[in-house]
């Protein structure tokens, strides 16, 4: 039987859950990792813990935090590709 594949959450990741928080926010930031995942609502700053399995089940998309100067890499489904601009195709000028 194949092992269940876990989503590699990291502190600083931003996730979107399927249902909105009562304040109306849909965006969450991961602040703690373990058997339970600590989430912070980016709209009202409320914090709570959910079981890893529950977060994986409710998650719609994830934007992974990168270790360099606050840049982010998009991961998952449902995220718009716009807004991320890089160097021109033929290199920097």
pLDDT digits (tens, 9 = 90+) for 13-52: 999 989 888 998 989 999 999 889 999 999 999 999 999 9
Q: What span, in angstroms and rounded, lies between the C-alpha atoms of 56 and 17? A: 9
Q: Where are the domains of the chain?
A: 14-69
Q: What span, in angstroms and rounded, lies between the C-alpha atoms of 36 and 71? A: 26
The predicted-structure confidence for 61-86, as pLDDT tens digits, reads as follows 888 776 654 444 444 444 444 444 55
Q: What span, in angstroms and rounded, lies between the C-alpha atoms of 35 and 22? A: 25
For residue 93, what are the contacts with CB-CB under 8 A and spacing of at least 6?
none
3-state helix, strand, coil in the chain (%, to 5): 10, 35, 55
């Amino acid at each position: 039987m194949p092992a269940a594949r876990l989503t590699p959450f990291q502190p600083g990741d931003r996730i979107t859950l399927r249902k909105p928080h009562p304040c109306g926010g849909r965006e969450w930031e991961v602040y703690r990792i373990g058997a339970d995942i600590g989430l912070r609502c980016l709209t009202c700053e409320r914090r709570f813990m959910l079981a890893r399995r529950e977060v994986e089940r409710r998650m719609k998309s994830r934007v992974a935090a990168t270790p360099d100067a606050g840049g982010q890499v998009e991961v998952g489904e449902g995220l718009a590709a716009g807004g991320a601009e890089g160097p021109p195709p033929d290199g920097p000028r």
